[in-house]
């Protein structure tokens, strides 16, 4: 009992942890409601569309987001990393210049992504979705990219200003709007196209809302004349360029290896198989829901702690947030094991029961990703973006090769096992490397302290 009391008191005294929890709470509260609404609308869509229609919808949506991510240089991470460091040191004008570069770069790459999406829609419809009637759908849903023209940079601006509540409100509004539209489509016995439009409206609300709020906060965060900040103030343009290219390559590798599995399933198998896999992957959103906000809220604090060389504070932050993630992940696993099969049997006479084993397999890999969610942000904060890139490339290449061999034989179960293996090995190695860098930097500071002390008059 004394141990528990001491632990609670220790956590209450941790100012940084309280800040992260508070900011995460804003996102978590909206995400909780969004999760409930998203689960309900997902189940409704799955019920009246069936596995094949549900798979087709998932592939259309994934094509647009995949191309956008392919051309994305993750300007949000660049702004948090370099702009956050300048803000921590009081260089608001330099931080504003970085934001200006990020806004322009992201806008140009997003427009390029939409153009490529429209041009490649016929090929994607033929070889992946296997339905030429959806060519126009791909172009229409792709408009969501234009509504989210500078979403990454806008989100990073809100993170740097600790405006997580505003972000949470927008997320909640778009979730409610999407859910209401899908309920209307369900009641009116709508089609796959109608459901797609509902998701498009939600994307539009999110993109425009985040952008407008971010622009309204610019003066507060970067100063009254932020828009006049000269780009010449940027001291590390090549370092920023390397960071952006590295994060783009990392994102592209993750996209091909990790985040486009539904497209791979559609290519290797059938739209119905893609529907089963999409349903299982959708259940992973419940597992990730409360942890995903931690990525946004901890990355700025990780960067600041490293810039200030506060290793003890950083270690506590990572350990305690991982503990929270582990408790949630364990609770979800128990819930799925106890009631998962029964719950699936209630959905459209058990048509999605083949997804149950896929959910169990994916949960192991996503559980590791949950608990060690900070693995890549930590490496980015140490200015080591190439290490995660190398690790993900090696294990991802192995996954792709095995995918061509195993998925045609073992179907969605083979894809799920490959995904879990990829998560366990790649994330585990990156996390261990991050802890090694922390330990090495802390030892260097400990050795330097006596020397600096001895040089004092």
Token duo for residue 136: 């126009």
Q: Is the pLDDT of residue 17 over 50?
A: yes
CB contact burial 47-57 (16+ within 10 A = b; e otherwise): ebbbbbbbbbb
**Rounded to 5 degrees, what are φ and ψ at 33?**
-65, -40
Angle at 274 between CA 270 and CA 280, to 5 degrees: 150
Model pLDDT for residues 239-254, shown as the tens digit of each residue: 888 888 877 877 788 7
Q: DSSP per residue over 248-304, as a string?
A: HHHHHHHIIIII-HHHHHHHHS-HHHHHHHHHHHHHHHHHHTTTHHHHHHHHHHHHH
- Percentages of the chain per state (helix, strand, coil), in multiples of 5: 90, 0, 10
**Rounded to 5 degrees, what are φ and ψ at 352?**
-100, 15
Model pLDDT for residues 381-419, shown as the tens digit of each residue: 888 888 988 998 899 999 999 999 999 999 999 999 999
Query: Can you tell me the mean pLDDT for 295-307?
Result: 78
pTM of the model: 0.75
Task: Please report, rounded to a whole number, the percentage of residues in the chain having pLDDT higher than 70.
Answer: 88
Mean pLDDT estimate for the chain: 86
Model pLDDT for residues 417-443, shown as the tens digit of each residue: 999 999 999 999 999 999 899 999 888
The whole-angstrom separation of Cα 279 and Cα 272 is: 11
Q: Collapse the DSSP code of 457 into the 3-class scheme (helix H, G, I; strand E, B; otherwise coil) and give the result.
A: coil
The whole-angstrom separation of Cα 6 and Cα 8 is: 5
Residue with tokens 């969501």: 144
- For 124, the domain range is 14-444
Report the candidate in 222, 291, 315, 288 with the shortest Cα–Cα distance to residue 16. Answer: 315
Q: Is the pLDDT of residue 283 over 80?
A: yes
Token duo for residue 407: 């998925």
Tell me if 23 is assigned to some domain.
yes
pLDDT value for 154 = 95
The whole-angstrom separation of Cα 420 and Cα 422 is: 5
Question: What DSSP element (H or E) covers 230?
Answer: none
**Rounded to 5 degrees, what are φ and ψ at 268?**
-80, -35
CA atoms within 13 A on the CB side of 398: 14
Tell me if 454 is assigned to some domain.
no
Q: Is the pLDDT of residue 212 over 50?
A: yes
Angle at 393 between CA 282 and CA 440, to 5 degrees: 105
pLDDT value for 72 = 84
Q: Collapse the DSSP code of 89 into the 3-class scheme (helix H, G, I; strand E, B; otherwise coil) and give the result.
A: coil
Q: Say how many domains are in the chain.
A: 1
CA 210 to chain centre: 16
The whole-angstrom separation of Cα 282 and Cα 287 is: 9
Model pLDDT for residues 168-178, shown as the tens digit of each residue: 788 889 988 99
The whole-angstrom separation of Cα 271 and Cα 47 is: 15
Tell me if 3 is assigned to some domain.
no
Query: Can you tell me the mean pLDDT for 48-76?
Result: 90
Tell me if 217 is assigned to some domain.
yes
Q: How many helices (H) and strands (E) does the chain have?
A: 18, 0
Tell me if 1 is assigned to some domain.
no
Q: From the CB of residue 85, how many other CB atoms can be counted at a distance below 10 Å?
A: 20
Q: Which carries the bigger pLDDT value, residue 364 or residue 282? A: 364
Model pLDDT for residues 166-205, shown as the tens digit of each residue: 887 888 899 889 989 998 998 888 899 999 999 999 999 9
Please say whether the beta carbons of 96 and 226 come within 8 A.
yes
Residue with tokens 């994916």: 362
Query: Can you tell me the mean pLDDT for 122-126?
Result: 94
What count of residues does the chain have? 457
């Amino acid at each position: 009992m004394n141990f528990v009391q001491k632990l609670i008191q220790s956590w209450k005294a941790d100012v940084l942890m309280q800040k992260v929890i508070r900011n995460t709470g804003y996102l978590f509260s909206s995400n909780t409601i969004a999760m409930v609404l998203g689960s309900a609308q997902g189940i409704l869509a799955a019920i009246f569309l069936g596995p094949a229609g549900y798979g087709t919808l998932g592939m259309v949506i994934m094509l647009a987001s995949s191309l956008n991510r392919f051309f994305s240089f993750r300007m949000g991470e660049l702004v948090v990393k370099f702009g956050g460091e300048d803000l921590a040191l009081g260089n608001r004008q330099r931080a504003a210049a970085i934001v200006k570069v990020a806004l322009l770069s992201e806008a140009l790459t997003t427009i390029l992504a939409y153009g490529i999406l429209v041009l490649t829609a016929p090929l994607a419809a033929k070889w992946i979705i296997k339905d030429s009637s959806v060519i126009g759908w791909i172009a229409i849903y792709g408009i969501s990219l234009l509504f989210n023209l500078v979403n990454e940079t806008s989100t990073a601006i809100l993170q740097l200003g600790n405006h997580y509540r505003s972000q949470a409100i927008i997320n909640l509004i778009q979730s409610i709007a999407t859910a209401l539209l899908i309920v209307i489509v369900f009641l009116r016995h709508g089609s796959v196209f109608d459901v797609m439009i509902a998701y498009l409206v939600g994307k539009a609300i999110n993109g425009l809302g985040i952008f407008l709020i971010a622009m309204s906060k610019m003066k507060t965060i970067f100063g009254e004349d932020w828009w006049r900040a000269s780009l010449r103030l940027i001291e590390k343009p090549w370092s920023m360029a390397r960071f952006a290219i590295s994060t783009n390559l990392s994102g592209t590798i993750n996209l091909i290896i990790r985040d486009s599995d539904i497209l791979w399933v559609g290519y290797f198998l059938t739209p119905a198989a893609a529907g089963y896999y999409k349903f299982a992957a959708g259940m992973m959103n419940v597992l990730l829901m409360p942890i995903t906000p931690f990525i946004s809220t901890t990355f700025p604090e990780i960067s600041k702690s490293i810039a200030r060389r506060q290793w003890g504070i950083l270690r506590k932050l990572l350990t305690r947030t991982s503990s929270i993630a582990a408790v949630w992940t364990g609770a979800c696993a128990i819930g799925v094991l106890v009631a998962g099969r029964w719950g699936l049997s209630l959905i459209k006479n058990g048509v999605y029961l083949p997804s149950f084993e896929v959910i169990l397999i994916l949960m192991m890999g996503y559980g590791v990703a949950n608990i060690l969610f900070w693995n890549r942000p930590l490496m980015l904060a140490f200015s080591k973006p190439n290490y995660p890139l190398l690790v993900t490339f090696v294990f991802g290449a192995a996954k792709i090769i095995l995918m061509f061999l195993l998925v045609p034989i073992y179907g969605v179960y083979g894809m799920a096992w490959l995904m879990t293996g990829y998560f366990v090995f790649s994330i585990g190695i990156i996390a261990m490397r991050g802890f090694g860098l922390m330990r090495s930097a802390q030892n260097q500071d400990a050795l330097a302290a006596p020397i600096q002390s001895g040089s004092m008059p």
